[in-house]
Amino acid sequence: MKNKILPILFSILLFACSENDIDVDQFNLNCETLKTALLNFNSDEINFEINKLTQDLLPTITQNDEIGHFKNLNTLIDRINSNCDDIQAVKICYACIETLPVQSEIKVEFNFQGTQIERIIDISTPNDGILLSIEAHNN
């Protein structure tokens, strides 16, 4: 009887964990959602979209980078620019806001109905965790 139950349980587990259950879109930046959120200062949606791109950006502390996110901040900017053709992201500063943990800032710009929109996104830059978007604001 035990010999029959094991293959049945294995089959159930195999089919229950199919690749179709994985939501691949949760890791892709939705540029339109991000632009709308930036336009409306919707921090929850901004953070959700930006933080999709930071999930693997753990700190690598070096002698020249005590926080360990210098390269990661550049990677985040590259990911925004490569995912969204009509959004331009640039680094304003790295670990320049002295909070606990320190914060960095990036500027994002895009055109909305003929008007150039510019927002600053504050990025939490902890030396013991991933980068996290925390808020957006004007200059």
101: cis peptide before it, omega within 30°? Answer: yes
Q: What are the CA-CA distances from residue 88 to residues 3, 17, 58, 77 (Å)? A: 60, 38, 24, 9
Q: pLDDT (tens digit, 9 = 90+) per residue, 16-52?
A: 444 434 344 446 899 999 999 999 999 999 999 999 9
Q: pLDDT (tens digit, 9 = 90+) per residue, 92-111?
A: 999 999 999 999 999 999 99
- Smallest CA-to-CA distance from 38 within 119, 124, 123 is with 119
- Residue 68 CA to residue 62 CA, distance in Å, equals 6
Q: What is the largest CA-CA distance in the chain?
A: 72
pTM of the model: 0.80
User: Which stretches does DSSP call E strand in the chain?
Assistant: 87-97, 103-112, 115-124, 132-137
- Residue 118 CA to residue 121 CA, distance in Å, equals 10
